Homo-oligomer: A and B are copies of this chain.
Amino acid sequence: MDGVREKILDAAGRVFAERGYKSATIRQICQAAEVNVAAVNYYFGDKQQLYLDTVKQAHRRLSAQFPLPPWPEETPPANKLNGFIRAMLARMIGGKATPWEQQLMLREVLHPTNACRELVEEYFRPHLELLLSIVSELLPHGTAAHRQRQVAFSIIGQCLFYRIAGDIVDMLSATDQRQHFTIEQLAEHITRFSLAAISGTSDFDDRDNRARQPTSVS
Contacts and interface: CB of A to CB of B under 8 A. Distances in A.
Max chain B CB contacts within 10 Å: which of A66, A167, A198? A167
Interface string A185-212: 1100111111111111100100000011
Nearest to A107: B110
Interface of A: 20, 22-23, 66-71, 75, 78-80, 82-84, 86-87, 109-110, 112, 116-117, 120, 124-125, 128, 145-147, 149-151, 153-154, 156-162, 164-165, 167-169, 171-173, 177, 180-181, 185-186, 189-201, 204, 211-213, 215-218
A23 B113 CA distance: 15
A172 B110 contact: no
A180 B146 contact: yes
Nearest to A194: B197
14 contacts: A23-B23, A83-B215, A84-B217, A86-B215, A112-B168, A116-B171, A120-B171, A149-B173, A153-B169, A154-B193, A157-B157, A158-B158, A160-B161, A200-B200
